[in-house]
A and B are shown apart, each in its own frame.
Chain A
Amino acid sequence: GAVVSQHPSRVICKSGTSVKIECRSLDFQATTMFWYRQFPKQSLMLMATSNEGSKATYEQGVEKDKFLINHASLTLSTLTVTSAHPEDSSFYICSAPGHSSVDYTFGSGTRLTVV
């Protein structure tokens, strides 16, 4: 089946630095990628939707200058957390919708810890 490879799985960074998270679709083309953030014991919160070749669409309250999303090819979407702070520590997950209306492929998630 379809696979979305997400890297890194875990990252610890210092406050003020930037971190890039990659999601790569294997064996299929992902024209759209959903980026989620999940805090402990909370549900998935959609941050933004990236579309290949166009600007990402951000959900209300998500700072587009802080969470930079790039979807430059049909197989790669990236999320860069800029000037990270401890409150950005979270579990970040990407998800690509498939051809059928019920088909979604999730990356394995990235645990970001900002110290």
Chain B
Amino acid sequence: QKEVEQNSGPLSVPEGAIASLNCTYSDRVSQSFFWYRQYSGKSPELIMSIYSNGDKEDGRFTAQLNKASQYVSLLIRDSQPSDSATYLCAVNAGNNRKLIWGLGTSLGVNP
């Protein structure tokens, strides 16, 4: 069974620090990888997508993908209290566009 695993946390970092979130996946043929942020009671919103090995940066966010080790991570620089949310890792392993979701990591940024 295809799985996506995340540390559920909670992860707590002080304001201005770097938050590091990790995700591993089981299916080697996985093609696309996503980080979503979800606030309580809201739908997920896309932070980053990545499909090539290496780093992808967008503002304060950097996604890192290592297909050989089957992990994808998200770094949040200069963390802000507004970054406090649950971060969901999702993986698309096939052509049917279905996403497989991790349980999410709860992040708290303390002022």
> Which residues does A use to contact B, with CB under 8 Å?
32, 34, 42-46, 49, 91, 93, 97, 101-102, 104, 106-109, 111
Contacts and interface: CB of A to CB of B under 8 A. Distances in A.
A43 B102 contact: yes
Interface of B: 31-32, 34, 41-46, 49, 51, 88, 92, 96-99, 101-104
B34 A44 contact: no
Given A46-B99, A104-B34, 6 more contacts: A43-B88, A43-B103, A101-B31, A101-B92, A102-B51, A104-B46
Contacts of B96: 49
Given A101-B31, A102-B32, A108-B43, A44 B88 contact: yes
A108 B103 contact: no
B64 to A, nearest CB: 17
